[in-house]
Amino acid sequence: MFKLNYYRRIQLSFLLFIIVPIITVSVISFALIKETMVEKLQLTNDNFLKVMTDEIGKTIDDASFASHFMVNDTSFKKYLKNFADTDRLRSYDDYTNFTEIKGVFSLITSKPLNNNTRMYLVNRKRFIIPSSEDDMTSVNKHLDELYGKIDFNQPETLQWLGMVRDNPGKAGTYYIARVIHDKHEKQYLSVLLIGISQSYFEKLLKPVEFGKVALFDAKQNRIAGSAELSAPDPAAPPSNLRSEVTLDKADWTLVYEASKEAFTGKISRTFYAGIGGVVLFFVIFSISSMFIAKRLHRPIQKLQRVVRQFGMGNLDARLEVKGRDDIAELSRTLNTMLDQLQGLIHDIEQEQEQKRVMELEALFMQIRPHFLINTLNSVKCSLILQQDHLHSGIIDSLMSLLRAYMKFNEPATLQEECELMRHYVDIMKIRNDIPVQLTIELEPGLASWTMPKLMLQPLIENAIVHGLMDHPDACIRIRAQRKQGFVTIEIEDNGDGIEEERLLMVNDRLQIPDSGPDTPYDRVGLINVAQRLRLSFGSEAGIALVPNKRRGITAVLRIPDRDTRNTLPGRYVI
């Protein structure tokens, strides 16, 4: 198995100090250059799309302007109304209307339209008037198909009908329609068809030097451009360098996409060539460093050999010291340390013997409480068999207290602590022959609140011994609630109370962090509770005694609330 000894660590450190900075700088430089070039390419793509978008938008604006002029010119609209139901030129009036419409139509469309855009006026009888002397075979052939796409309920708005092809696989014409409506008669007069040759778009979107470009209509159908590009999909994850621009007036989308891998390939190849050179240098340097590191490691091997022999039990193993360099000084120090260790080993052997004796005594001490609990449990079973439920319950309470004393350092929930106090009160009632009633009220969420075990026992004992010994209706109430970021626990009794002067003295004593050795016995329990509160919950926690309405004393524990657990609503009452 490969072991990373000292000289290999020296060798590895040499290599890391060289290879890591070189690779780090190379990777960072490659990433920055690549990111910069990609950003510049993306900016170029956006500018390229903007130029093409402006050109297509201009063509749409020209067609829109021409159609808008026809719709709003009243004299022209009058000719359209007269010519709306003419299926052929039957009379001189028909010929006059046709000539007027043809003249105005040609005049309107002569300037704004480019050579790839054609317009056709189609009346209600589907008589077609072209904007120029062109072959109308294509529009006649597809007139029914185009009329099937026109919504005549949307007059005087441009409708995008899509691409129509004379033959599959050949260039077609993209048609736009506008219904010219008569508001008085509430019916359409004619339909204006605007045809834009696909060759116009193909010429505009001719293959660029780097990347592909395509134009899609509102229904995601490709109008022109590269057939390899997919239609715009907002839900699709981003890939390559793709830019999309939507023409507001036509709701067309112009897509430009370039392969990011192809663009960054040359940069990547240069980077990998540089990394290959670094790896070659790394191999040459690592072979050279092996000889240097091994020579430096020889003194360390001697130190390692002596320490290994000492560890295997040869306590007399020592280094031979030669010279005055750092290794020689280390050897002398190691010999001194081995001498001290030899003496310490003897001392430790004696201490281990004493420790075994103490552990046996500790195990014996642990047997006694368990023996007492087992004995009490046997007595309890005997009393139950004799139907002495009173004394069996007292023994049960005594066993609960004994178990609590055995696990004094473990935390307990507030509900467990209150149950333990109920057992304690049962024992005190039998011991002192007084009827004490214990009432427990816990606010929602505080039943599972954690606190030190037996924290409340000195307060219950203090209330019984010093306040309730001669009371026939003795009563103690434990109440817990949350107030302003603190948990407040109140132990209230209806005993004899305390004189005001003495009460002030006791409360002052409870605020002192260390009460000192001269504390009276009747205050030891209170001082113990105050110290445990501060040790467990910090300096903000404390205890105070206050008079209550029942002429007794209420011990108030105020503890910072750091418990955020959620519990069921409702009031828990024991």
pLDDT tens for residues 248-261? 767 788 887 776 66
Residue 546 lies in a domain: yes
Q: Give the pLDDT mean for 145-159.
A: 82
Between residues 287 and 111, the one the model is more confident about: 287
Range in 184-188, 541-545, 554-558 the model is least confident about: 184-188
- Long-range CB contacts (within 8 A, 24+) of 43-47: 45/211, 45/241, 45/243, 45/256, 45/258, 46/243, 46/245
How much is the pLDDT for 559?
93
Residue 541 lies in a domain: yes
Q: pLDDT exceeding 70 applies to what percent of the chain?
A: 75
pLDDT tens for residues 486-522? 999 999 998 888 888 888 998 888 888 765 544 554 5
Between residues 201 and 442, the one the model is more confident about: 442
Binned at pLDDT 50, 70 and 90, residue 564 comes out as: very low
Q: Give the pLDDT mean for 79-86.
A: 81
Residue 85 lies in a domain: yes
CATH number of the domain that 458 lies in? 3.30.565.10
How much is the pLDDT for 11?
64
| Contact assessment for residue 161 and residue 177, using Cβ atoms and an 8 Å cutoff | yes
Sheet containing 187-197: order of strands: 128-130, 117-123, 187-197, 173-182, 158-164
Residue 187 lies in a domain: yes
Query: Which of 58-62, 81-85, 206-210, 481-485 tops mean pLDDT?
Result: 481-485
| The total number of structural domains that make up the chain | 2
pLDDT at 84 over 50: yes
Burial of 416 (0-12, 13-18, 19+ CB in 10 A): middle
Between residues 37 and 497, the one the model is more confident about: 497
Expressed as residue numbers, the domain containing 79 is: 73-204
Last residue of a domain, one of 188, 204, 220: 204
Residue 293 lies in a domain: no
Q: Indicate the helix (H) or strand (E) that contains 560.
A: strand 553-560
pLDDT at 272 over 80: no
Last residue of a domain, one of 146, 175, 204: 204
Q: Give the pLDDT mean for 58-73.
A: 77
CATH number of the domain that 149 lies in? 3.30.450
Mean pLDDT value across the chain:
76
pLDDT at 109 over 70: no
How much is the pLDDT for 44?
72
Binned at pLDDT 50, 70 and 90, residue 364 comes out as: very low
* pTM greater than 0.85: no
pLDDT tens for residues 204-228? 777 665 677 888 877 778 777 777 7
Q: What are phi and psi of 366, to 5 degrees?
A: -70, -20
Range in 212-221, 375-384, 440-449, 557-566 the model is least confident about: 375-384
pLDDT at 292 over 90: no
How much is the pLDDT for 478?
93
Query: In 10 A of CB 302, how many CB atoms?
Result: 13
Residue 330 lies in a domain: no
Residue 355 lies in a domain: no
How much is the pLDDT for 355?
65
Last residue of a domain, one of 158, 173, 204: 204
Q: Give the pLDDT mean for 278-306.
A: 72
Q: What would the DSSP string read from start to end of 4-58?
A: --HHHHHHHHHHHHHHHHHHHHHHHHHHHHHHHHHHHHHHHHHHHHHHHHHHHHH
Measured in whole angstroms, the distance separating CA 367 from the mean position of its chain's CA atoms is 53
pLDDT at 393 over 90: no
How much is the pLDDT for 472?
78
Instruction: Please enumerate in sequence order all residues whose Cβ is within 8 A of that of 166, keeping only pairs 6 or more positions apart, or say none.
Output: 138, 141, 172
Residue 278 lies in a domain: no
Q: Give the pLDDT mean for 552-565.
A: 80
Q: Give the pLDDT mean for 39-45.
A: 71
Binned at pLDDT 50, 70 and 90, residue 138 comes out as: confident
Q: Give the pLDDT mean for 235-257.
A: 73
